[in-house]
Amino acid sequence: MSAIEFIPPAALGDRDAAIVDVREAAAYTDLGHVPGAANIPVDRFRDPTGIARGMLPDPTDLATWLGEAGISPTDPVIAYDDDCGVYAARFLATLAAFGHDGDLYLLDGDYSVYEREADVTVEQPDVEPVEYEPDDLDETLLADREDVEAAVDGEAIVVDTRTEPEFEQAHIPGAVQLDWKVFVDDETGRRRSVEAIGSTLAEHGLEPDRPVVLYCNTARRLSYVFAVLEDLGYGDVRFYEGSLEDWLRTETDDWDPAEIKRRVREHANQGPAAVKEALGEDAAAKLKLVGLYGQKQSGYFMFRTKIPGGVLTADAARALGTVAEEYATLPEERDPKRSPFGDGYLDVTTRQDVQFHWIRMADVPEIWELLDPAGVSTFQTGGNSVRNVVSCPAAGVADDEVLDARPVAEAITEAFLADRRYANLPRKLKVSVNGCRGACAQPEINDLGFTPARKGDRVGFNLAAGGGLSDSPRVASDLDVFVERDQVVDVVRATADLFIEHGSYLDTAVNRLRFLVEEWGAEQFREELQRFAPFEFESAGEDLVTHHHPDHVGVHEQADGDNYVGLSIPVGRIDGTDFRGMADLAESYGNGEIRLTTQQNLLLPDVADGDLDDLRAEPLLDEYSPDPGPFTRGVVTCTGREFCNYALVETKARAKRWAAELDERVDIDQDRVGLRFSGCTASCAQPQIDDIGLRGETRQTDDGVESAVDIAVGGKLNVDPQFATWIAPRVPIESAPDAIERLVAVFEREGRDCEQLHELCRLADDDRLAEVLHPAAIDPVEAAANGGRTDAD
């Protein structure tokens, strides 16, 4: 590899070299470029999610771009950008890392400097494509974590090329701070003189014969310093392709869940500030690894537990109910009677967890004293970790079961619980294990989805990856892999290892696993996953999923002839005393277990036929019924604005009230109407997967800003999954029940060929349904008769 050299603008025409413009395509096309320059934009070759290490691109992709630009492996290359050379330096460092044999030159300055001194053009160069054969990575240029650690403790010098404020906030211990911009003349935009640079380097302890390891946080700024040092003859310069945040989070004991729990125990009685000081940087993120989320109300926390597959013993349920009764209580200045739910309650979540509100830090150790003996963990219930594993709540008893998913869900949980390596992944990793033909644990919207399959005489799982919701919903991709039951943990671990290597702590809005699967495609993701798996993949088996399980509410016959009884927990919120009462019912009528569902309900398994009438007569079932109205049965909500800083509207009290009103007002020939309500676009209530989805919004009126909802319709999972379509934006929030009533009126009038509301919503014209859903000053029957149109339209 040739060293990178700086070249002045005036000398550009004197070199027989390929010229590469790394600016955005629009700038290259519209604003002009150096004559003869090809365009390879920076967002192509600087890839935080690619297959290669760190920010390096896929070598095959790089070879394609270079070949299309007419560049062969031995051609000299000159690169320039519009930001003092920092992006062009990244391009040249990338070529160096992949062993490009031609000389490498960095324009001294950038396009604006060249434009002042020479003519530019908008004409496209006449390029003859060539074949570019990529070489292996030059490992002598790349530093890994072990190299960084060795440099910190050895003779090498570690250089942080970021700004001083960034360095002061966090840096690798022992590193020196040397902002790349100190090498750029502020007035000319070109590199400072060799003498000035040499003086700066000497002041920071950098000498030509001393090994240097460079880092920043996105592999951009280090590239410019790399070019400077290469040009000055520094012989041993390496760069760390991981981000600073990646290094800090992965290598420090501060992210060990067990250690975090110990520090919380030690300092909890001194209050939240003392705990955060003890945890150091990123204290809020670390607290999530033991289940603690800062609540909207200062000084209080939401506390989440981990319940694999939603399976609880009666003792565990009693412990959870006791926590709600004794610790999830309002502050003295708040009157519980003025709260829609009072206090002392808990929430069942869409991942079959239980979470509490109004928790005080000082009480956390006592809560652990209640939960730990009952077998309830709070490790990795939040944060960028393997979250609670969801599975069929009727696992082991369902009459359509192919295999029992409970042992698999428990094995995954045990493998990752409090494991420091996997406690802080680039982003959270969600896993769904399904053993029934209804695949009711939503594998389509999980990062990994295991569904029942048959391969010859073996029964196991087919594997899908890359599902998720939020504002970029995606159905998981079939990877064409059959997995034995005892291989599932290895697959999840391999996925986590892949994610650690190829994921990024940067751009957290777009670094969930689904974005990696989307970028690579299922085939390439499968190939890369194979590298991390300890066994050879075999093709998928026969898919045994045959139908859709919308929920488990009601009385259902089990495979053994007994019954499981699904009880509706409206919006997932239940009083702690009532939850303890459910434990008593589980012991009196069932097998002593409570199962939580992804629809925020619960079920009691193993209830004999002869006990059903007595169970139905229990007072608790007046509130938590196995036979609720269709809207109460189908309502699911997020936490909402009451506690969440991101939510735009309150959800739980409003949705519970709406569901009850709609049950009274609306006559629909359907046992369940899926109604999911999220307070923002994060999709915590999964609004895209059911009949009707709502998400909080605001709208501007003559009187100011008021609360509103966007309305989506037509979502479903399992066979032929489809996300709901957002068709009615910013409907005034208190008009939403009327809008839903009008929609149902259309269904009852025109949906004779549709068994479910979502079927009509998928078949009908979106514009027409949007008109139905927007407020109308006429009654629902008239709205339906008019095709949803109003006199005002």
pLDDT tens digits for 524-572?
999 999 999 999 999 999 999 998 888 999 999 999 999 999 999 999 9
pLDDT at residue number 784: 43
Query: How far apart (Å, rounded) are the C-alpha atoms in residues 624 and 601?
Result: 9
pTM above 0.75, yes or no: no
pLDDT at residue number 247: 62
pLDDT at residue number 416: 95
Confidence of residue 52 (pLDDT cuts 50, 70, 90): very low
The whole-number average pLDDT for the span 425-440 is 95
Confidence of residue 505 (pLDDT cuts 50, 70, 90): low
* Count of Cβ atoms closer than 10 Å to residue 523 Cβ: 11
> Looking at the domain assignment, is residue 552 inside a domain?
no
Q: Could you tell me which of 201, 222, 213, 226 has the C-alpha nearest to residue 174? A: 213
Q: What is the 3-state secondary structure (H, E, C) of 330-374?
A: CCCCCCHHHCCCCCCEEEECCCCCEEEEEEEHHHHHHHHHHHHHH
Q: Of 519, 543, 567, which residue is a domain's last? A: 543
Mean pLDDT of the chain: 90
Based on the domain organization, do 154 and 104 belong to the same domain?
Answer: no
Based on the domain organization, do 425 and 538 belong to the same domain?
Answer: yes
User: In 118-181, which residue ranges form alpha helices assigned H by DSSP?
Assistant: 145-153, 164-169
Instruction: Flag whether pLDDT at 165 surpasses 50.
Output: yes
Q: With contact defined as beta carbons under 8 Å apart, do 12 and 101 qualify?
A: no
pLDDT at residue number 389: 98
**Domains contained in the chain, number:** 4
Q: Could you tell me which of 718, 653, 648, 727 has the C-alpha nearest to residue 689? A: 718
Q: Could you tell me which of 157, 166, 238, 171 has the C-alpha nearest to residue 204? A: 157
The whole-number average pLDDT for the span 405-420 is 95
Residues 6+ apart with CB under 8 A from 685: 350, 636, 637, 638, 651, 676, 677, 678
Q: Residue 615 has what DSSP assignment?
A: H
Q: Could you tell me which of 101, 130, 109 has the C-alpha nearest to residue 38? A: 130
pLDDT at residue number 761: 74
Dihedral angle sign, alpha carbons of residues 526, 528, 530, 534: negative
Query: How far apart (Å, rounded) are the C-alpha atoms in residues 400 and 558?
Result: 9
Confidence of residue 781 (pLDDT cuts 50, 70, 90): very low
> Looking at the domain assignment, is residue 458 inside a domain?
yes
> Looking at the domain assignment, is residue 157 inside a domain?
yes
The whole-number average pLDDT for the span 634-647 is 95
Instruction: Flag whether pLDDT at 787 surpasses 50.
Output: no
Q: Could you tell me which of 215, 499, 498, 258 has the C-alpha nearest to residue 368? A: 258
Q: With contact defined as beta carbons under 8 Å apart, do 479 and 529 qualify?
A: yes
> Looking at the domain assignment, is residue 539 inside a domain?
yes
Residues 6+ apart with CB under 8 A from 245: 170, 217, 505, 506
pLDDT at residue number 214: 93
> Looking at the domain assignment, is residue 258 inside a domain?
no
Instruction: Flag whether pLDDT at 654 surpasses 70.
Output: yes
Q: With contact defined as beta carbons under 8 Å apart, do 106 and 181 qualify?
A: no
Residues 6+ apart with CB under 8 A from 202: none
Based on the domain organization, do 215 and 88 belong to the same domain?
Answer: no
> Looking at the domain assignment, is residue 328 inside a domain?
no
Based on the domain organization, do 101 and 156 belong to the same domain?
Answer: no
Confidence of residue 778 (pLDDT cuts 50, 70, 90): very low
Residues 6+ apart with CB under 8 A from 432: 389, 390, 391, 441, 442, 443, 446, 448, 449, 450
> Looking at the domain assignment, is residue 105 inside a domain?
yes
pLDDT tens digits for 213-250?
999 877 889 999 999 999 999 989 998 876 666 665 55
pLDDT at residue number 253: 59
Based on the domain organization, do 98 and 150 belong to the same domain?
Answer: no
Confidence of residue 675 (pLDDT cuts 50, 70, 90): very high
pLDDT tens digits for 283-314?
998 999 999 999 999 999 999 999 999 999 99
* Count of Cβ atoms closer than 10 Å to residue 330 Cβ: 17
Instruction: Flag whether pLDDT at 793 surpasses 50.
Output: no
Q: Could you tell me which of 459, 431, 439, 350 has the C-alpha nearest to residue 398? A: 439
Query: How far apart (Å, rounded) are the C-alpha atoms in residues 114 and 58?
Result: 31
Confidence of residue 103 (pLDDT cuts 50, 70, 90): very high
Q: Of 198, 221, 250, which residue is a domain's last? A: 250
Kindly report the CATH number assigned to the domain that includes residue 442: 3.30.413.10
Task: Classify residue 682 by burial, with Cβ atoms within 10 Å: 0-12, 13-18, 19+.
Answer: middle
User: In 244-348, which residue ranges form alpha helices assigned H by DSSP?
Assistant: 244-251, 257-267, 272-279, 283-288, 314-327
Based on the domain organization, do 79 and 158 belong to the same domain?
Answer: no
pLDDT at residue number 764: 76
Based on the domain organization, do 644 and 709 belong to the same domain?
Answer: yes
Query: How far apart (Å, rounded) are the C-alpha atoms in residues 38 and 60?
Result: 19
Confidence of residue 762 (pLDDT cuts 50, 70, 90): confident
Longest CA–CA separation in the chain, Å: 95
- Structure tokens given for 787: 């095709």
pLDDT at residue number 605: 99
The residue ranking higher by pLDDT, 79 or 744, is 79
Query: How far apart (Å, rounded) are the C-alpha atoms in residues 556 and 552?
Result: 8
- HSE-CB at 502 with a 13 A cutoff on CA atoms is 25
Q: What is the 3-state secondary structure (H, E, C) of 648-672?
A: CCCCHHHHHHHHHHHHHHCCCCCCC
Instruction: Flag whether pLDDT at 462 surpasses 90.
Output: yes
pLDDT tens digits for 178-206?
999 999 999 999 999 999 999 999 999 99
Instruction: Flag whether pLDDT at 785 surpasses 50.
Output: no
Confidence of residue 757 (pLDDT cuts 50, 70, 90): confident
Based on the domain organization, do 168 and 93 belong to the same domain?
Answer: no
pLDDT at residue number 282: 82
Q: Is 308 left (phi over 0), alpha (psi -120 to 50) or beta?
A: beta
Which helix (DSSP H) or strand (DSSP E) does residue 176 occupy? strand 176-177
Based on the domain organization, do 413 and 490 belong to the same domain?
Answer: yes
Based on the domain organization, do 459 and 538 belong to the same domain?
Answer: yes
> Looking at the domain assignment, is residue 427 inside a domain?
yes
Name the 3-class secondary structure at 244: helix
State percent of the chain over pLDDT 70: 93
Please list, residue by residue across 479-514, b when 16 or more beta carbons sit within 10 angstroms of its beta carbon and e when fewer do.
bebbbebebbbbbbbbbbbbbbbbbbbbeeebbbbb
Based on the domain organization, do 56 and 147 belong to the same domain?
Answer: no
Query: How far apart (Å, rounded) are the C-alpha atoms in residues 292 and 109?
Result: 49
Kindly report the CATH number assigned to the domain that includes residue 235: 3.40.250.10
Instruction: Flag whether pLDDT at 779 surpasses 60.
Output: no
Which segment, 40-44, 253-257, 619-623, is predicted with the most confidence on average? 619-623
The whole-number average pLDDT for the span 156-168 is 87
Name the 3-class secondary structure at 197: helix
Degrees to nearest 5, angle at CA 55 with 15 and 155: 85
Query: How far apart (Å, rounded) are the C-alpha atoms in residues 264 and 279?
Result: 8
pLDDT at residue number 54: 54
Q: With contact defined as beta carbons under 8 Å apart, do 679 and 646 qualify?
A: yes
**Alpha carbon of residue 282 to chain centroid:** 18
Q: Of 217, 250, 283, which residue is a domain's last? A: 250
Confidence of residue 80 (pLDDT cuts 50, 70, 90): very high
* Count of Cβ atoms closer than 10 Å to residue 547 Cβ: 12
Q: With contact defined as beta carbons under 8 Å apart, do 112 and 254 qualify?
A: no
Based on the domain organization, do 638 and 776 belong to the same domain?
Answer: yes
The residue ranking higher by pLDDT, 378 or 334, is 378
Domain that holds residue 678: 633-785
Instruction: Flag whether pLDDT at 755 surpasses 80.
Output: no
Confidence of residue 782 (pLDDT cuts 50, 70, 90): very low
Task: Classify residue 288 by burial, with Cβ atoms within 10 Å: 0-12, 13-18, 19+.
Answer: buried
pLDDT at residue number 249: 57
- For 722-755, the DSSP string reads BPPEEEEEEEEGGGHHHHHHHHHHHHHHH-TT-S
* Count of Cβ atoms closer than 10 Å to residue 244 Cβ: 22
* Count of Cβ atoms closer than 10 Å to residue 228 Cβ: 26
Q: With contact defined as beta carbons under 8 Å apart, do 19 and 38 qualify?
A: yes
